[in-house]
Chain A
């Protein structure tokens, strides 16, 4: 990547923002124009994201690439030179996350065309949210980073509250309150770090250089604030209760983006602000992260065993899978932490596919209790095939994305704590149990005559599902595209063992 690619990174969040503005100018009744415009703009986002991922050169010595900065405020008050700037740049982790966002927003846009109620407003909010997500992934200034982080969260409240289902006000409010509480911790921690480094700048590159030297006690205090603050968004046990209810309430595309991308934003924050800046704090608290991670993994999987609502099951499944991410991060070795980032990607595409399919069914049936269905494979064969693919990835079938991520995490955790490694492998078996139980009940057996009116997923949904399923297979079969980019970046984190 050249510095000029910084303009591409800039475009990453400008395209959705400007698309939102353009959408405001299109009359609401012109639904086909809105659909055509969002098709183009989502394709543009996907194209830019893919470009960033492909162009990121992992053989280069430069960890951050495409770096460009524009000063905003400097030499004022506490701030010194380059105090707060709009500074973009990506490393291997961010590049992978950008690609994930591109894939999920494209698929999410396609399945949202069938929304009839205030569809224009929906897309505007969705694109503001995505601008926030992209901004967080590419921003190299902690102050602006936090701005985009919040920009990604706030539209959620309206998106769930207006377009949601199943106790939507409750779900939206709980989600918002918990995440904002987390944000307070993050905001405090960011200011704590900036003040402790004493450089008078929010520039991340400067902080990566200086923050590791912050005295140990301050690091021990700041790291848990970051871990809990960002961890809340990542579904870290026991700060996860917004996840099942929030997912159950959210409309399809929002669930896809939220579980697929936003939860990764939290884990990304833990890496960026925690592991990359506070190595001593990370080392001290890593075992704690592992304990919470494995507890969440087992807890989510065991809870999912008895869930009847498909979305609740998937919500708990997300808690379980994100638990793996924290286990991987806590290993503090390259292979385990790379596994954590791989898992972020793998879980992102997989869970987006899950929510897409559940939405495609719920929109027709207005019911998603597993026990109410049977013989769905007969009624909606294409739907069922995609669901099976997502499930196989979910319980780590080799050759699909989940396995690549999990095997890295397992190897990493076995190197550090073998017993917890054993529990992690066991969790994968429990995951298989609840998914297969669901297949046997809802997919197979005689067709329940109540649902004979259901038709298979629409063409747009098929296309979106194909994109997601293809990503699952690609990561599973050619993992080196991801592993090369991610592991070289992970290796630069201070305190990480090879």
Chain B
């Protein structure tokens, strides 16, 4: 496909959204086939565009959106524009494939839902917004799409809004990310203020030629990064993502694992040349990622809800990507983004298959499902191994890239923390697989009506499994060459100072593999068969366990802040408005006037002698004053 027509990619789903949204009730099957056909077309078009992609960065298409002029001269021009480069290509690959898989899977998962058609309309809307985000060439349009995916996420988390918990989770997700978005919008406007443009390439050019003041740019990039922190659920704004699991599971797979939550990573990768000019801001990215990676992984260890474990895992893996960006390794970040999109959406869809079959998502109630759900068991296990980073599955290659980058470009603490997190990742992956699929069923009634999911759900699982196995190979020169990009992904994603051909660093690779195997071993020791050892793990350090179960008390802290500080302030302001401004200022002045009127009316007695007396006093007073001044 011609690059000039890349705007078609978001245009198709937005039209489908409108059609299903308005006329879905008249269409057979609520219009799900239309959404899937449309997404299929988008996937094909994107594939054609990717094949055509020549490897150079190209600005493609722009159109005036609004302009400020004084009649003759244009003062301010705001455009919408598309832009395609290698980062876009990686994003397009992940977004189109996962969206299509999730849509197909949803036909089975959402069957019989009362808002079935509306669900597919929302998925199309999300796809449109996400694709706009990916292809946009300027920051204002990116912000537009950024809020669009946020809205889609809000509506889909709250899709079953009859449940109060879903409504609350949707609210929490939107408001938390919105706090980050305040920073994002401030950052975008500050960039515009310094460079006079919203165009990303112009801003990068301006920064690289030293057009910004360093302090100004540092502050600006930190604001911008706040947006990424919110969207990608990084510490301290990570709290919304686990709650977002209230949404339908395919939505979690699509939005909260593979696509929307990586928008923050995408934004920082896109703006990395600017971050490179202010290294303090880049260090903030690095340490934010690092703290998040280890913190989220530790919480995943003790979580008993199968989807929440995966949610923490996602937060942790996003932390890995930010660490890579923090050391400037954009290739490693984008590579991990791609493989993670495949194996994490696989894991989520697998968990969805379990939930669909058992209507249960507490691992304490599951167990022994391997006999009843063989396909789900195998695909989920492969996904978990990929997550743990065992050669030759996808996760191994991309995580290895990040570890190498951290070892080369960051203080030793970063590398050590990441390695420790890799162990934790292997432990919780193993725990999740063992508790869900192995051992004996813990709840007979749940186990009894469990069954394998229908083919429409299993086939996407199989396709994603295949991708989780092979997508790591794009790092290899030979595979890259066969796919049309010589040198593997390392050459493609970034040219210039960051680019390098993939070379396996044996020390790191062997170290990481040992770490992962050690983690898997730990998982087996504690959760293989014997419940007593799992109990022992829990009681090993009760305070630590309580800290993790309570999510480091961060949610409690935020809730208390909202209840006490923010609503308290609102109460004070409301009281001030009613009592001081309104009752004292407005009503008070009215009553004051009324009071004076009440008093002064007694001067009007209606008796002539009184008036005559007052007149006489007045005349004498005026006469005295007149004489006095003369």
Contact = CB atoms under 8 A, between A and B. Distances in A.
- Say whether A and B bind each other: yes
Interface in B56-95: 64-71, 73, 75-76
A375 B65 CA distance: 39
Interface in B558-574: 566-567, 569-571, 573-574
Interface in B567-622: 567, 569-571, 573-574, 577, 581-582, 585-587, 590
A166 interface: no
Most buried by A among B143, B158, B577: B577
Interface stretch (B187-195, B311-319, B332-340): B187-195
Given A178-B586, A398-B144, A444 B67 contact: no
Interface string A340-379: 0000000000000000000000000000000000010110
B570 A241 contact: no
Contacts of A480: 64-67
Nearest to A433: B175
Contacts of B67: 480, 483-484, 487
A241 B585 contact: yes
A488 interface: yes
Contacts of A299: 573, 577
Interface stretch (A207-215, A221-229, A411-419): A411-419
A479 B65 contact: yes
28 contacts: A238-B581, A241-B581, A241-B586, A299-B573, A303-B570, A303-B574, A305-B566, A306-B567, A397-B147, A398-B143, A398-B148, A403-B144, A421-B186, A422-B186, A425-B185, A436-B174, A436-B175, A439-B171, A440-B167, A443-B161, A446-B162, A446-B164, A479-B65, A479-B66, A483-B66, A487-B75, A488-B69, A491-B69
Interface residues of B, number: 53
Contacts of B174: 432, 436
A429 B70 contact: no
Contacts of A439: 167, 171
Contacts of B185: 410, 425
B71 A306 contact: no
A178 B186 CA distance: 37
Contacts of A425: 182, 185-186, 189
B140 interface: yes
B477 interface: no
Given A303-B570, A398-B147, A445-B161, A415 B69 contact: no
Interface in B392-426: none
B164 A445 contact: yes
Given A425-B189, A445-B161, A446-B164, 8 more contacts: A238-B585, A305-B570, A335-B68, A375-B162, A399-B144, A433-B178, A488-B70, A498-B70
Contacts of B170: 440, 444
Nearest to A482: B66
A58 interface: yes
Nearest to B143: A398
Given A241-B577, A439-B167, A334 B75 contact: yes
A259 to B, nearest CB: 17
Contacts of B577: 241, 299, 303
Interface residues of A, number: 61
B179 interface: yes
Contacts of A421: 186, 189
Given A302-B573, A445-B164, A335 B186 contact: no
Contacts of A447: 162
Main secondary structure on A side of the interface with B: helix
Interface string B512-552: 00000000000000000000000000000000000000000
Nearest to B151: A397
A22 interface: no
B182 A437 contact: no
A404 interface: yes
A33 interface: no
Contact of A410 (B66, B181, B189): B189
Contact of B569 (A302, A483, A491): A302
Contacts of B582: 241, 245
Nearest to A398: B144
B168 interface: yes
B115 to A, nearest CB: 10
A239 to B, nearest CB: 9
B508 to A, nearest CB: 42
Interface in B165-218: 166-168, 170-171, 174-175, 178-179, 181-182, 185-186, 189-190, 192-193
A55 interface: no
B71 A488 contact: yes
Contact of A445 (B144, B162, B178, B581): B162
Nearest to A298: B573
A496 B166 CA distance: 49
B76 to A, nearest CB: 5
A463 interface: no
B462 to A, nearest CB: 36
A392 B147 CA distance: 10
Given A238-B585, A480-B67, A418 B193 contact: yes
Contacts of B70: 334, 487-488, 491-492, 498
A421 B185 CA distance: 10
Nearest to A486: B68
A473 to B, nearest CB: 11
A335 B590 contact: no
Given A303-B570, A444-B162, A498 B75 contact: yes
Most buried by A among B66, B148, B193: B66
Contacts of B567: 305-306
A320 B65 CA distance: 27
Contact of A411 (B162, B175, B189): B189
B226 to A, nearest CB: 11
B630 to A, nearest CB: 33
A446 B193 CA distance: 47
B71 A491 contact: yes
A444 B164 contact: yes
B166 to A, nearest CB: 8
Name the 4 nearest CB pairs between A and B, nearest first. A491-B70, A444-B167, A398-B144, A444-B161
A392 B151 contact: yes
Interface in B106-137: none
A410 B186 CA distance: 9
Contacts of B186: 421-422, 425
A307 interface: yes
A61 interface: yes
A336 to B, nearest CB: 10
Contacts of B68: 334-335, 338, 408, 483, 487
A421 B187 CA distance: 11
A302 B193 contact: no
B71 A436 contact: no
A437 to B, nearest CB: 7
B573 A303 contact: yes
B182 A429 contact: yes
A429 B309 CA distance: 30
A407 interface: yes
A418 B520 CA distance: 52
A174 B189 contact: no
Contacts of B66: 404, 479-480, 483
A296 to B, nearest CB: 11
B197 to A, nearest CB: 12
Contacts of B179: 429
Contacts of B189: 410-411, 414, 421, 425
A174 B586 contact: yes
A299 B577 CA distance: 9
Interface string A139-180: 000000000000000000000000000000000001001100
A432 B75 contact: no
A377 B170 CA distance: 15
A377 B585 CA distance: 40
Contacts of A408: 68
Nearest to A377: B161
B171 A437 contact: yes
